[in-house]
Structure 1
């Protein structure tokens, strides 16, 4: 956790013990025993994290990354703040649902889509088409849109996804996203968009995942962290030049008022992304809830806000406590950093042999002997929104009591 080591550090043993007491008091206050996994979001931490994101953005609007939240009530809470506007959706079907249910009226789909059913809904709805912007990086994406409509009477808004990886020594460092890496390639696609009836070019996106999504202050990996920070610095400098070149080419094509938006960054790169004058908005989502993959960044102090509780169901030996379930493993390259982390009470860890299991997870460590059958152990997920695919509802914590139980996408019957 971060750089703090004192009792005020959210990762300290004292803070985690206090959290355990808060959660225990809140559970005891429920009218009926909860089902597990019991998902909890600490609103106090969410609000503090949101304020910190706004501070880091320095006035640049924050676009809420829905993939990292997946709970409409929490999305509405963030969007009600002055520093947040609009949603960065992860599928068109999701964007259409959020638009229909008035969660947001400005939705940018972060990834190209070939979902013909969802596109069919978009092209017959003037209201949705005016509120939703599609992402493209290939003429084929335009062809798919044209294949589902009989008329171009409803214009479709599009933004161009521009590769934001670091180009060094003939290698590409960063997420494998757009094939468009220079102004010439972007301009060729932009000309096609402008020339085609039924499309409106409104902006661009550059997601520098090698800056926004890689920890750079890991206490157990000092040398690697130093190398990551150097890579990030080089990426920011190179990307700034590329953005300016692409922006200038697009402005020559559509005019200075033709580009409504330039989306960039993520929770781990808010300051660097917002500092670029080309960028008009910065994406953020994980920074609200702070999963374990966001624990070790120099740019901010993490305040964990999302937890899930599992009950102790057996004691195989005096030094082992086994909880039911637990195998909520995050996506990405397989590794220990994708496993959930036993968090409260402090002093627990997964075993090397079983890890986090589908139906049981044995825990060891100094706190294991004090746990009794029926006690809840609280975990943190490695990634933010993925946690909420595992339960129908989330309990919202304020102080030491639950103030509301709200539905996740899964609880609403949604699977995007």
Structure 2
């Protein structure tokens, strides 16, 4: 049966509207809009739930889904979390340099020669950062920027975790490494090459972790998705066991990273996996509302002011066009969340400068009122602001910089 969802009833959303708007109104001077807020109560509850679902295996924070240093540090301070899964090498170097983490895995291969040169030129960074590879050319790039192999570079193999079904791939189009023989071939090349240390493996099953499977308006599709997820985890589990056994004859790995917020339990149950990657489950964006596996507690919001009332039944807010990445569709748009009952219009959607809203609350809204939205994806929201306010209880207790606020653009 679907899990009961916290925080999405009309009563809860009206209370949230009052709580957020009252907290902002208490600030003097009033903050500029859009006002970005993270609810620490929900964040901490989500973190505890991820640890529970991981069943004793450490959770590595996926920084792409957070992008706020203070929140990364907050998650890492919680028992059950360990290390960061970064999305660029420059980001990993910055996190290590600023003492945010000393255990960082870069989730994607890099061709950034400047960042690679910095990595091989710093023994401390090279000891704390693991880069991802899935073909020998990635090793060649590392060697092209160093004059000595005295500083070993830690590498992990990114192994494709997609479902092979009737000759078709279901899942993210990531690594060319799929068959165990291909994995072993590259593993041997890493081990035979001076200046490299093979320390880990990653298998990201995005077709399981990143796809909603309990959409109220798409029951038939959700059933198909759940069956595909089950088949995918079964096939992947068998392949992981084969690869793990064969690698064990060559090297003792430090970690096997897998999973995501949407598949924590299923991934943690695989004995080959030693740690779980998760990030979106901390903030719970709109795309993570409809999973059977866990109870979402939305934790990230942005407030936009009503600036116009073009008709008694329409309220127009300033800004709003924070559309998420991925295949274009309505599910990539921000969700008008509090007060509940507001809707985007089909002709205008979310605009860069203004967004008209309809629905019964629009008649009650006045110029100057704040409407609170949720982004469709986690982390991307904070590319649009330098700072985020942190809400504890009914008060905004701190304003902290995002990656962008720290002067970073990756």
**TM-score surpassing 0.5?**
yes
1:284 is aligned, of 261, 278, 281, to 278
- 2:405 counterpart SS class: coil
In the alignment, the residues of structure 2 paired with residue 390 and residue 371 of structure 1 have an alpha-carbon distance, to the nearest angstrom, of 25
List runs of 5+ in structure 1 lacking aligned partners: none
2:15 is aligned, of 2, 5, 18, to 18
- 1:367 counterpart SS class: helix
Deviation at 1:3, TM superposition (A): 4.7
- 1:411 counterpart SS class: helix
Moved over 4 A (4+): none
Residues 1:98 and 2:95 are matched in the alignment = yes
Deviation at 1:180, TM superposition (A): 0.6
In the alignment, the residues of structure 2 paired with residue 248 and residue 164 of structure 1 have an alpha-carbon distance, to the nearest angstrom, of 17
Q: State the TM-score, normalized to the length of structure 1.
A: 0.97
Q: Where do residues 160-239 of structure 1 align in structure 2 (5 Å cutoff)?
A: 160-239=157-236
In the alignment, the residues of structure 2 paired with residue 343 and residue 378 of structure 1 have an alpha-carbon distance, to the nearest angstrom, of 6
Q: Where do residues 388-403 of structure 1 align in structure 2 (5 Å cutoff)?
A: 388-403=382-397
1:382 corresponding residue in structure 2: 376
1:44 corresponding residue in structure 2: 41
2:153 is aligned, of 130, 152, 156, to 156
In the alignment, the residues of structure 1 paired with residue 303 and residue 18 of structure 2 have an alpha-carbon distance, to the nearest angstrom, of 13
1:4 corresponding residue in structure 2: 4
2:134 corresponding residue in structure 1: 137
In the alignment, the residues of structure 1 paired with residue 386 and residue 65 of structure 2 have an alpha-carbon distance, to the nearest angstrom, of 16
- After superposition, the C-alpha distances for 1:259-290 in whole angstroms (9 at most, x for unaligned) are 00000000000001110000000000000000
In the alignment, the residues of structure 2 paired with residue 345 and residue 3 of structure 1 have an alpha-carbon distance, to the nearest angstrom, of 23
**Does the 8 A contact of 2:63 with 2:86 survive in 1?**
yes
Deviation at 1:380, TM superposition (A): 0.1
- 2:407 counterpart SS class: coil
- 1:321 counterpart SS class: strand
1:295 corresponding residue in structure 2: 289
Residues 1:410 and 2:404 are matched in the alignment = yes
Deviation at 1:4, TM superposition (A): 3.4
Q: Where do residues 205-354 of structure 1 align in structure 2 (5 Å cutoff)?
A: 205-254=202-251, 258-354=252-348
- 1:228 counterpart SS class: helix
In the alignment, the residues of structure 2 paired with residue 82 and residue 33 of structure 1 have an alpha-carbon distance, to the nearest angstrom, of 36
Deviation at 1:31, TM superposition (A): 1.7
CA RMSD, aligned part only? 0.8
**Does the 8 A contact of 2:3 with 2:294 survive in 1?**
no
Q: State the TM-score, normalized to the length of structure 2.
A: 0.99
2:51 is aligned, of 42, 46, 54, to 54
Stretch moving more, 389-398 or 27-36? 27-36
In the alignment, the residues of structure 2 paired with residue 146 and residue 336 of structure 1 have an alpha-carbon distance, to the nearest angstrom, of 45
In the alignment, the residues of structure 2 paired with residue 347 and residue 360 of structure 1 have an alpha-carbon distance, to the nearest angstrom, of 19
Aligned residues: 409
In the alignment, the residues of structure 1 paired with residue 4 and residue 18 of structure 2 have an alpha-carbon distance, to the nearest angstrom, of 21
- After superposition, the C-alpha distances for 1:163-188 in whole angstroms (9 at most, x for unaligned) are 00001111110000000111100000
